């Protein structure tokens, strides 16, 4: 379990900071992006632009740290990633504001956001590779779900700290110095993560020899689930859904499989950020809630999200990744607009609104639970960190990082308060189509390779024997 803790704690730090930034976006807009005479809405758009920019550094981080982690060892690279992430987050709490540093202030904030994006891009792929490679047969969905679970914990921690800060301090104190405290709190969290990773043993890589490369295709075949191809997807073999993980020889990551992976998780990215991060600022700007009301409204969503993730990951070990994720994507597509209109209705009780936002979070959890294992199983060991990191970071760059910017600007220009629902529903509709595309594997039942139940190990042994026979042929 130390591998689970060491892998997931960095994710907690990352999403704690991203949650704090999203929850305090209106305060940061006033402190960093509002010169004399500037408008609040324009400043919020600039704040989310800096937010989005950090996401576009994620693919670069995934490629940089992923290549290092795939070619060398996981642990040293993961230590470097968490160190960079912690330092850049804590430094935000020490930055001068626009009133002190003038135009340099937003540029300094944007620079630190870029460094956070770089480290976050390397964090996810390495942590998921570490945890899923350490998982026993039939439990990769559950182990991978811990990575998503710490997203929920990080967002809850960010929401809790931001809410407590906004509640305990006056608005003037929050604006003057109180906003710094949540960012500085990332330092002790990061030190705990660093301690866990320094004492971590390297896990054997699934499908890898002692040199870290794949042993033919057997190990990846044993990983086969409905998330990715059987056989060595990175060695030019074609999966049963027509995907290939890389060119012959396994030198790189195939574009087609990365784009398919992005399509499968884009609904998770868009809906997660819409309902879990952007919602507080939307409630303040579009529905004129105060900061305390907006932050409190997101806590049920985060709780529902957290409650659904581990059961969804465990269920995916029994029935397959794609069926569980497809259910979540379809539900978001159908329910996003009714949910948002319920929140807009002044006649709806606070309890009903809380229950609705909790349900929205739980539906996103259906996608987030199996998602990490699905991505990990689409790539062989030698390019797993790079491949799944690129897919996840590209999806987050486009559909999460831009969510606040797109929604805020679209609401400002059109006046349509339903824009967040349209955004989440459209992304999940596309994701549902990609998840449904291709034949469903016979191996999505318990006892199949990578599946749950007592047959998981025997399925892995059958896959290993099949890989040996293929190499001998």
Give me the helices (H) in 345-368, please: 350-368
Q: Are 303 and 293 in contact (CB under 8 A)?
A: no
> Between the CA atoms of 10, 306, 396 and 221, what dihedral angle is there, to the nearest 10 degrees?
80
Q: What is the pLDDT of residue 367?
A: 97
Strand partners, 282: none
Question: Which sign, positive or negative, has the C-alpha torsion 61, 52, 417, 174?
Answer: positive
Closest CA to 126 of 193, 225, 214, 185: 193
Q: Are 374 and 322 in contact (CB under 8 A)?
A: yes
Strand partners, 225: 228
Question: pLDDT by residue for the chain (473 residues), tens digit each?
Answer: 667 787 788 888 888 887 788 778 778 888 888 765 456 666 777 776 777 777 788 899 999 999 888 888 888 898 999 999 999 999 999 999 888 888 888 889 889 988 988 988 888 888 898 888 888 888 999 999 998 998 888 878 887 898 889 889 998 999 899 999 999 999 998 898 888 888 776 655 544 433 333 333 333 334 445 554 433 333 333 333 334 344 434 446 788 999 999 999 999 999 988 888 777 666 766 667 766 677 677 788 888 999 999 999 999 999 999 999 999 999 999 999 998 888 888 887 878 888 888 999 999 999 999 999 999 999 998 899 899 999 999 998 888 877 777 887 887 788 888 888 999 999 999 999 999 987 655 434 333 333 333 344 444 444 444 444 433 33
Q: What is the pLDDT of residue 260?
A: 94
Q: What is the pLDDT of residue 452?
A: 37
Residues 6+ apart with CB under 8 A from 414: none
Number of alpha carbons in the 13 Å side-chain half-sphere of residue 113: 23
For residue 33, what are the CA distances in angstroms to 47, 109, 170? Answer: 7, 10, 21
Number of alpha carbons in the 13 Å side-chain half-sphere of residue 14: 31
Closest CA to 269 of 34, 109, 55, 20: 55
Q: What is the pLDDT of residue 461?
A: 45
pTM of the model: 0.74
């Amino acid at each position: 379990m130390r591998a689970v803790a060491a892998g997931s704690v960095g994710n907690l730090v990352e999403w704690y900071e991203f949650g704090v930034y999203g929850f305090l976006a209106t305060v940061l807009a006033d402190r960093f992006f509002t010169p004399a005479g500037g408008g609040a809405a324009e400043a919020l758009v600039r704040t989310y632009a800096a937010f989005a920019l950090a996401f576009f550094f994620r693919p670069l981080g995934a490629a940089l740290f992923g290549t290092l982690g795939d070619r060398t060892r996981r642990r040293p690279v993961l230590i470097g990633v968490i160190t960079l992430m912690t330092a850049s987050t804590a430094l935000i709490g020490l930055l001068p504001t626009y009133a002190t540093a003038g135009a340099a202030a937003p540029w300094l904030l944007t620079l630190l956001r870029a460094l956070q994006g770089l480290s976050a891009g390397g964090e996810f792929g390495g942590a998921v590779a570490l945890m899923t490679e350490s998982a026993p047969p039939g439990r990769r969905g559950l182990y991978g779900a811990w990575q998503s679970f710490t997203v929920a914990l990080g967002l809850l921690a960010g929401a809790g700290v931001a809410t407590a800060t906004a509640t305990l301090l006056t608005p003037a104190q929050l604006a003057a110095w109180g906003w710094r405290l949540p960012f500085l709190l990332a330092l002790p969290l990061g030190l705990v993560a660093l301690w866990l990773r320094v004492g971590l043993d390297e896990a054997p890589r699934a499908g890898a020899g002692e040199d870290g490369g794949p042993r033919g295709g057997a190990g990846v075949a044993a990983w086969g689930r409905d998330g990715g191809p059987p056989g060595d997807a990175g060695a030019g073999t074609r999966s049963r859904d027509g995907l290939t993980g890389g060119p012959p020889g396994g030198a790189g990551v195939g574009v087609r499989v990365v784009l398919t992976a992005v399509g499968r998780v884009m609904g998770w990215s868009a809906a997660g950020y819409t309902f879990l991060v952007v919602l507080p600022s939307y409630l303040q700007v579009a529905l004129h809630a105060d900061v305390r009301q907006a932050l409190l409204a997101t806590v049920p969503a985060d709780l529902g999200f957290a409650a659904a993730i581990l059961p969804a990951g465990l269920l995916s070990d029994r029935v397959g990744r794609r069926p569980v994720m497809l259910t979540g994507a379809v539900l978001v597509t159908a329910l996003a607009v009714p949910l948002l209109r319920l929140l807009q209705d002044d006649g709806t009780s606070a309890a009903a609104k809380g229950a609705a936002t909790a349900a929205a979070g739980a539906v996103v959890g259906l996608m987030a639970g199996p998602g990490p294992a699905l991505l990990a199983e689409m790539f062989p060991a030698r390019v797993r960190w790079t491949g799944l990191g690129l897919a996840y970071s590209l999806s987050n760059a486009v559909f999460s990082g831009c969510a606040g910017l797109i929604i805020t600007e679209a609401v400002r220009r059109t006046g349509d308060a339903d824009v967040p629902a349209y955004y989440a529903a459209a992304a999940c509709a596309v994701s549902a189509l990609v998840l449904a595309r291709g034949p469903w594997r016979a191996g999505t039942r318990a006892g199949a390779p990578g599946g749950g139940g007592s047959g998981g190990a025997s399925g892995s042994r059958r896959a290993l024997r099949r890989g040996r026979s293929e190499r001998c042929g």
